Amino acid sequence: MFAYGIFEVIYAPRKAFKEIAQNLKYIGPLLVIILFVAANTGFGYVIASKSYYEQTVPSGAAPKYDMWTESKSWWTSNANISESSDSINGTYYGNKSIEFDATDAREIWMLINLNQSVPCSGADGYENMSFRIKMIYPATTAFKNATMYLFSSKTDYFKYDLSDYSFPSNSTLWNNLTIPIGPTSGWAMSSTNANWSNVVSLKYDFLWSGNANLTLRLDGLFFRGIFKSALEQYGVYSYVPNYPLMGFMQVVITWVLLGGLMFLISKALGGKSLWKPMLILVGFILVTLFVQMMINVILGANLPNLKYPLEYLGGVKGEYESALSKIEASTALASQISSIVNIVVIFWIIALCALANRQLTDFSWSKSILVAIVAYFLSAIIGNLILSL
């Protein structure tokens, strides 16, 4: 009977409120809470299954960040190696770059032996490499060419010509390169023994047209190109359980605050309402939040897969905003519908609260609406403050 009354509030609220007032029990609001928590959990599952985050090596997580360009101990070179505070500013990039400095030279090469074997083929193979390079050399000396090598053993490697990329001499410009890797990426093989599934070291070789004092800085070296959903990355049991808790807190705090404020404001204005009837009726009214959440679940289920690339995760100014705008563009329609539904639900709750208040207090419609408006917005403000703590 009370389960039926929950949904009767949606299409016949006056009749439902009369029936509820004649048989006051908390089971109805408790069922509303259970339904909302279930819907919020479903929403969390849908969003987690649609959200794909780019995996990188290194992971970029603090405190290691882009660890291969945070410490000079990883590198060997024909140039002097040092750690520079001139680095990319972002959440993945630490606070250092690696500087290679050579006097009266025409070539700088650098080699890093990775701390793990990186797969670059197959379903779990990384498909791209990203890195930042800054070069400082005399204007009278021309940059000639550059080559990258990826080694699967000490003698077997893949070779990639970087001559199509420009490396101007500029003390402020970081060149941001993303290079395709893997079996179909066009790298030359030293032999058939070179193996994309087992990349263990990396070498750069930069050449100028003549001898000069050369400085090269390297930052943000990542293997990338694999996307995993939040469910794959964290597991359903470590990710989704947050949503039942958040849903429970949201609906219970809203219920207690809205019901309590409706009661107190009505009393202050001379109303004869009682605490229990007001709280129970408000609990039934919150079935509207369940309806709203179910609409959000449907909207979320119809979203395309949302890919959060390194540019978004890395947090570099300009790159982050550009990546975010692409994600927002793919969710624009769903976001607009959700915003409209949210506005409708706000007015819906206020209208139902006004009806409930008029029935319990015999206030005029204008007075009942005023109580409902003040109580709703006060409860929303206080609730947001509580949930943000």
DSSP 138-189: -TTS-EEEEEEEEESSSS-EEEEE-TTS-----SSPPEEEEEE-STTS-PEE
Task: Please identify, among 196, 230, 264, the residue that sits at the C-terminal boundary of a domain.
Answer: 230
Q: Which of 208, 230, 252 is the last residue of a domain?
A: 230
Examine the domain organization and report whether 116 and 102 are in the same domain: yes
Residue 316 has pLDDT above 50, yes or no: yes
Asked if residue 256 and residue 115 are part of one domain, the reply reads no
Query: How large is the average pLDDT for residues 358-385?
Result: 93
pTM of the shown model: 0.88
One domain, residues 341 and 320: yes
- Contacts for 230 with CB less than 8 Å, ≥ 6 apart: 47, 48, 49, 51, 52, 53, 239
211 and 280 in a single domain? The answer is no
In this structure, the answer to whether residues 130 and 32 fall within a common structural domain is no
* Band (362; pLDDT cuts 50, 70, 90): confident
Q: Select from 230, 257, 284 the last residue of a domain.
A: 230
On whether both 333 and 271 belong to a single domain, the answer is: yes
Q: What is the C-alpha separation between 93 and 310, in angstroms, rounded?
A: 11
151, 235: one domain: no
Task: For residue range 84-143, list pLDDT tens digits in order.
Answer: 999 999 999 999 999 999 999 999 999 999 999 999 998 889 999 999 999 999 989 999
Mean pLDDT, rounded, for 252-263: 95
Same domain, 107 and 17: no
pLDDT at position 233: 84
What's the total number of domains in the chain?
Answer: 2
CATH (domain of 198): 2.60.120.260
pLDDT in tens, 204-222: 999 999 999 999 999 999 9
Q: Is the pLDDT of residue 241 over 80?
A: no
pLDDT tens across 37-93, in order? Answer: 999 999 999 999 999 999 999 999 999 999 999 999 999 999 999 999 999 999 999
Q: Indicate if 172 and 293 belong to the same structural domain.
A: no
pLDDT of residue 239: 66
The answer to whether residues 88 and 22 belong to one domain is no
For the chain, give the percent of residues with pLDDT over 90. Answer: 82
Phi, psi for residue 64 in degrees, rounded to 5: -85, -30
What domain range is 382 assigned to? 2-53+231-388
Residues 48 and 62 in one domain: no
pLDDT tens digits along 16-38:
999 888 888 899 999 999 999 99
Which pair of tokens denotes residue 300? 């979320």
Q: Are residues 328 and 371 in the same domain?
A: yes
d(CA 52, CA 232): 9
